[in-house]
């Protein structure tokens, strides 16, 4: 939880959401929410832009929280997408009435 709060600068964040596609037969997603972690190694999409997916602090914290691993956070890559964007970026939609709201500009 704290890793996500720090990354997005959102102290009320409960943690990074899992993907929740409405067509899924699973109760929980198997990947990070694409809208918040699109270029992360554990996101549901691989990119075609030759941008390397990053092993972020999100995934390292998840592995560490299982109790099976100790993470070396110096090896993590901070993904710039949404970094420091605040709670509005995390909690509100990325489009409002077909337009990009101020809190999403630049991302």
Please state the residue numbers annotated as binding site for Zn(2+): 31
DSSP 82: T
> How far apart are the C-alpha atoms of 47 and 63, rounded to whole Å?
23
Residues belonging to the binding site are 31
> How far apart are the C-alpha atoms of 6 and 79, rounded to whole Å?
12
Of residues 83, 79, 84, the one with CA closest to residue 56: 79
The three-state secondary structure class of 103 is helix
Work out the number of other CB atoms within 10 angstroms of the CB of residue 35. Answer: 17
């Amino acid at each position: 939880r704290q890793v996500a709060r720090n990354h997005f600068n959102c102290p009320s964040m409960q943690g990074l959401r899992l993907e929740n596609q409405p067509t899924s037969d699973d109760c929980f997603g198997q990947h990070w929410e694409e809208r918040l972690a699109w270029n992360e190694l554990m996101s549901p999409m691989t990119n075609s832009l030759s941008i390397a997916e990053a092993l972020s602090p999100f995934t390292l914290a998840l592995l560490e929280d299982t109790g099976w691993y100790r993470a070396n956070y110096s090896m993590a890559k901070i993904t710039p997408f949404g970094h420091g964007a605040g709670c509005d970026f995390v909690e509100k939609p990325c489009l409002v009435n077909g337009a990009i709201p101020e809190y999403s500009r630049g991302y």
